[in-house]
Structures are given as C-alpha cells and as structure tokens.
Amino acid sequence: DDNAAAGASTARLVVVSNRVPVPTGTGHKAAGGLAVALEAALKSHGGVWYGWSGRIVDGPPSPEPEQKRVGEITFAVLDLAQRDYDLYYSGFANRALWPVCHYRLDLIQIDGEDTEGYFRVNDAFATSLVPLLRPDDLVWVHDYHFLPLGKALRDRGAGNRIGFFLHIPWPPPDVASAMPAYATLLEALTAYDVLGFQTQQDAENFGRCLERDGFARHVADGIYETGGRRFLVKAFPIGIDVEAFRRTANRAVRNSVVQRFRASIGERRLVIGVDRLDYSKGIRERVDAFGCFVRSNPKVRGRVTYLQITPKSRSEVPEYRRMQEEVAEEVGSLNGSLGELDWIPVRYLNQTVNHASLAGLYRMASVGLVTPLRDGMNLVAKEFVAAQSPDDPGVLILSRFAGAAHELDGALIVNPYDIEATARAIARAYDMELEERQERWASMSARLPETDVNVWWKHFLSHLETPAAIPAGAETS
Ligand code: F6P
C-alpha cells in the first residue's frame, strides 16, 4: 500500500540538495546510485533538481538560478561566494553539524559567523527557489546543509507539501543539543510535512528531541503536532540499485583495471576498504586492526593485501587535513615495520575509482572492511554484499555503529573502537569455511531488495503525497 500512490500522482517533484549532478553535455556523467535514483524519481514526476552549482565565485553570485533542461528534468543551480561557502559549507555544515551528528562533540567548532552564514545561505536558496515553485509541487529537501530550508520556504509563502531526508545520523537529545542554534534548527524542522531518517534509532532520537525540549507533541505512530500542524517522523533506510550493481559486478571480471590489479597481487588474498577520507569512517582504527591481525597471525605474512581506497574529502576543513596526515603516517609506519622486499601489506590510494572497477574489486575480495565509528547507513556495505559471487562469497566485517548493521546481520558485527576484536574478526573472516560464508551472505543478500533505492524514493514520496492520517483511537494524550 505504501508504494501504491507514488508515481501515480501528477504533482511535479522538486528535489533540493547541496550537490546537483548537472549533466555536462559530454556524454553521461558517472553518477552514484543515489543520483541515478533521484533522477528516476524526477523523470517519473517531471520536475526540478535545485541546489549549489559546485562553483565558487569572487564577486556576489547571481540570485537567479542557472537552468538547464534535460528531458523531463530542469536542473537549477546557484553559485556561492567564497565567503558564503566557507561559512555555510566548510563552517557550519561540516565543522558543527557533521561532528555533532556523528557523536564527535570533541571536534565541534562553534562560530557565530558560521551560524549566521548558514542561515543566510539557506534564506538565499529559499528566496531564489520560490519563484520556480508551482502550488502543487512536492518539495523534497536533502541533508544537513538545508535543515532550515523548509521553514525559509514557508516564511516566503510556500504552501506545498515539503519533505526532508537526513542522510547522516541524528543523535540523542543530549548530543544533538550541542548544535549551535539548536532550538532555532529544531523549530525550523517542524515546518516540514515528512521528516525521514536512515534508521528507526535516528527517527526515535529526533522524536525524543522534539518531545523533551517541547518543540512538538507526539500524537500517534510517528505523527507529531505543533501549532495546529501535524507532521510525520519516520525511518526510510536507503539502499542501492541492487540489480544494476549485481550486473555491474558480474561484468567486472572482464574490466581491465580489475584484471591489472589481480595480476599485481598474484595469489594473495584481498581485504578491501572504500571510504571518503573522513574521521567518521574509522580508517586509522581499521589500519591498526589490520596490523594487529598480521602480527598475531604470522601465516598470513606475504599472503594478504589490504587495499584501502580513500579519496580526499573536504580538505579545506582543518579536522580533515589533520586526519589525512594521521592516516598517511599510520599506513607508512605499518608498511615500514611489517612489509618485506616483495610484500607491501597495505595499498593506500587517495583517488576515486569508478563504480564498475569497484564492483569488480569487491567481488575479488575475501574480506570487506566497513568499520565506521558512526555512519548514517553506509552503502559500501550493501554494494560489497551485492557484488559477491554466490559460489564463493567474501565476508563482510561491519561496524555496529553503521546504519547498515541494523539490516545486515549476516556480517561479522564489530565495535570499531576495539582494535583487537576487529583484528580477531578479520582472522575469523580470513579462515571462514565456504558453507558459513554462503549462509551469512545469503541472509544479507536477501535483505538488500527491501531497501532498494527505487523502493526507497517511492516509499518516501508516497508519504509526502498523502498527509499523515491517524487511525481511529490511536491518539496518545
Ligand atoms: O553522507 C553525506 C554526504 O553529504 C553525501 O550526501 C555526500 O555524497 C557525501 O556526504 C560527500 O560529501 P560532500 O558533498 O561534502 O563532498
């Protein structure tokens, strides 16, 4: 029933996100699964994808969005002035909201100018979007860059149904309330009609913030009320395009990048990790755990390669730069102390690898290491599972602090802060018999379609299209 309404309505869809995959015109852009899925949503409804152009300009940026129509979709983007980018994106979004949402109050940087810049940029995005909106458009805002955008649109007269999906975790009240402008943000969030989170835990944490601090009252079953308005708070766990990724992985055995890599490691077994260079990903702890695994299992010396693919990210943010140095040092020191003339234990790359090659590398791996200290969902975990061959599947080692751990219980679930326990999990995965690997993999693989990214957007939109109804007698007082 949940999916029945989606796609059936004639309402246009307006997606808002910080990054917008504007087609370049020189062939199809290599887009991630989420971008492809949101394009599918936009194609089926027709509509607008609105956000930042990715450009930083010297003078004041034009308040008129630059528009490009491709088939059913209009891409509409705004430039940002350097100073606004520094305050809104590098400052408030990535030095205040990101660490708080990832439970890292030790890394939070509070700066009044950042806070002010964040709200100013949200207001500017709202002002430029309003003239593009039609009265019955569905508006779907994404992620922590735009927490107050729905409220800013309402303040400018938008009466549309407006939904919000948070791609990163939402922490419990005691942690969340360390956000600068916490009360203003929470109050602004009550202007949405639907608030979607990655896991039940995140949705519950958010609900507790609303109730504890008096921003809204719980009425029934995820429905909250404030000032005579009702809105829905609900988990919509995101996933991948399962069939497309399986197909890509099946084809990837013939991929020349994958073949070259295979030749370069020879008969060695492969352990793989793929993450943006971010302190939330637990990369240092993971490198340590791999070192501990090799030290305590002498038989694997020279027989295993750990490939860690880690494109640099947000390098203008000091906490990220510091972490880049720390990981590089850790890898260098481990290779220096454990390596041999003909064996480099860790291959560490600061570059992106295209999706098709990644799929082939996942398939080749005996062990997938997905051990973030905190992660909203983590799609690498789902891609790793989808890429395996049923005949000889690899083993997933997964942090209990990734949203994906709520679903993928066939993984070896670890506490990523516990280096020795993670090392023991690597040893267990390395030696696991085929039968146990197949059982674990089959149980995870069976769950992937539940959160397929195309199911996900339809599910969200079905709730956005239909105002939350309260079943008779279900109201709590
Ligand atoms: O996971 C949150 C997120 O903002 C994603 O939406 C995005 O793809 C990723 O982090 C990359 O971050 P950025 O846009 O800051 O490079």
Q: How far is the CA of 375 from the centre of ligand 1 (A)?
A: 12
Report the alpha-carbon distance of residue 198 to residue 134 in Å, rounded: 29
What is the chain's mean pLDDT, rounded? 94
Q: Is 76 helix (H, G, I), strand (E, B) or coil?
A: strand
The residues facing 306 across adjacent strands are 271, 346
Report the alpha-carbon distance of residue 27 to residue 25 in Å, rounded: 6
pLDDT for the residue numbered 470: 72
**In the structure encoding, which two tokens stand for residue 261, read together?**
């890599």
pLDDT for the residue numbered 413: 98
Nearest Cα residue to atom 3 of ligand 1: 167
Q: Which atom of ligand 1 is nearest to the CA of 145?
A: 4
Q: Are 299 and 269 in contact (CB under 8 A)?
A: no
Nearest Cα residue to atom 5 of ligand 1: 167
Amino acid at 460: F
Nearest to 331 by CA among 347, 315, 352: 347
In the block, tokens 């938008």 appear at: 158
Is residue 414 left, alpha or beta, with left meaning phi > 0 and alpha meaning psi from -120 to 50? Answer: beta
Q: How far is the CA of 341 from the centre of ligand 1 (A)?
A: 39
Give residue-wise pLDDT tens across range 200-219. Answer: 999 999 999 999 989 999 99
Q: Is 3 helix (H, G, I), strand (E, B) or coil?
A: coil
Q: What are the C-alpha distances in Å from 39 to residues 73, 134, 454? A: 8, 20, 10
- Work out the pLDDT band at 406, boundaries 50, 70, 90: very high
Report the alpha-carbon distance of residue 93 to residue 181 in Å, rounded: 12
- Work out the pLDDT band at 9, boundaries 50, 70, 90: low
Q: Is 412 helix (H, G, I), strand (E, B) or coil?
A: strand
Of the candidates 167, 213, 218, 221, the residue annotated as catalytic is: 167
Nearest Cα residue to atom 15 of ligand 1: 314
When comparing pLDDT for 244 and 26, which is higher?
A: 244
pLDDT for the residue numbered 213: 87
DSSP run (H or E) holding 305? strand 304-309
**In the structure encoding, which two tokens stand for residue 324, read together?**
């880049």
Pocket test for ligand 1, best of 15, 18, 19 (most atoms within 8 A of CB): 19
Strands 229-235, 223-226: parallel, antiparallel or unpaired by DSSP? antiparallel
Q: Please tell me the pTM assigned to this model.
A: 0.96
The whole-angstrom distance between residue 416's C-alpha and the CA centroid of its chain comes to 19
Q: Which atom of ligand 1 is nearest to the CA of 276?
A: 11
Give residue-wise pLDDT tens across range 445-463. Answer: 999 999 999 999 999 999 9
Residues flanking ligand 1, CB < 6 Å: 19, 143, 167-168, 313-314
Q: How far is the CA of 303 from the centre of ligand 1 (A)?
A: 35
Nearest to 398 by CA among 415, 418, 383: 415
DSSP run (H or E) holding 440? helix 434-447
Give residue-wise pLDDT tens across range 68-125. Answer: 999 999 999 999 999 999 999 999 999 999 999 999 999 999 999 999 999 999 999 9
Q: How far is the CA of 352 from the centre of ligand 1 (A)?
A: 14
* Coarse DSSP helix, strand, coil percentages of the chain, rounded to the nearest 5 percent: 45, 20, 35
Nearest to 124 by CA among 65, 166, 41, 189: 65
**In the structure encoding, which two tokens stand for residue 35, read together?**
């971008």
Residue 251: count other Cβ atoms within 10 Å of its Cβ: 12
- Work out the pLDDT band at 316, boundaries 50, 70, 90: very high
- End-to-end CA distance of the chain: give it in Å, rounded: 28
The half-sphere exposure of 430 on its side-chain side, counting CA atoms within 13 A, is: 22
Complete DSSP assignment for 184-238 = HHHHHHTT-SEEEESSHHHHHHHHHHHHHTTS-EEEETTEEEETTEEEEEEE---
pLDDT for the residue numbered 3: 39
Give residue-wise pLDDT tens across range 125-179. Answer: 999 999 999 999 999 999 999 999 999 999 999 999 999 999 999 999 999 999 9
pLDDT for the residue numbered 477: 53
Q: Which atom of ligand 1 is nearest to the CA of 18?
A: 14
pLDDT for the residue numbered 476: 61
pLDDT for the residue numbered 353: 95
Q: Which atom of ligand 1 is nearest to the CA of 93?
A: 15
Q: Which atom of ligand 1 is nearest to the CA of 32?
A: 8
Nearest Cα residue to atom 7 of ligand 1: 19
Q: Are 327 and 284 in contact (CB under 8 A)?
A: yes
Give residue-wise pLDDT tens across range 299-313. Answer: 999 999 999 999 999
pLDDT for the residue numbered 2: 40
218 carries an active-site annotation: no
Of the candidates 145, 375, 452, 463, the residue annotated as catalytic is: 375
Report the alpha-carbon distance of residue 56 to residue 78 in Å, rounded: 10
pLDDT for the residue numbered 229: 94
Mean pLDDT value across residues 317-331 = 97
Mean pLDDT value across residues 42-50 = 93
Q: Are 132 and 50 in contact (CB under 8 A)?
A: yes
- Has the ipTM of the complex gone over 0.90? yes
Q: How far is the CA of 266 from the centre of ligand 1 (A)?
A: 35
Q: How far is the CA of 66 from the centre of ligand 1 (A)?
A: 22
Report the alpha-carbon distance of residue 207 to residue 233 in Å, rounded: 7
136 carries an active-site annotation: no
Nearest to 64 by CA among 48, 78, 80, 81: 78
Q: How far is the CA of 94 from the centre of ligand 1 (A)?
A: 10
Residue 401: count other Cβ atoms within 10 Å of its Cβ: 22
pLDDT for the residue numbered 24: 84
**In the structure encoding, which two tokens stand for residue 449, read together?**
């379609």
Q: How far is the CA of 107 from the centre of ligand 1 (A)?
A: 18
- Work out the pLDDT band at 472, boundaries 50, 70, 90: low
Give residue-wise pLDDT tens across range 371-394. Answer: 999 999 999 999 999 999 999 999
Q: Which atom of ligand 1 is nearest to the CA of 89?
A: 15
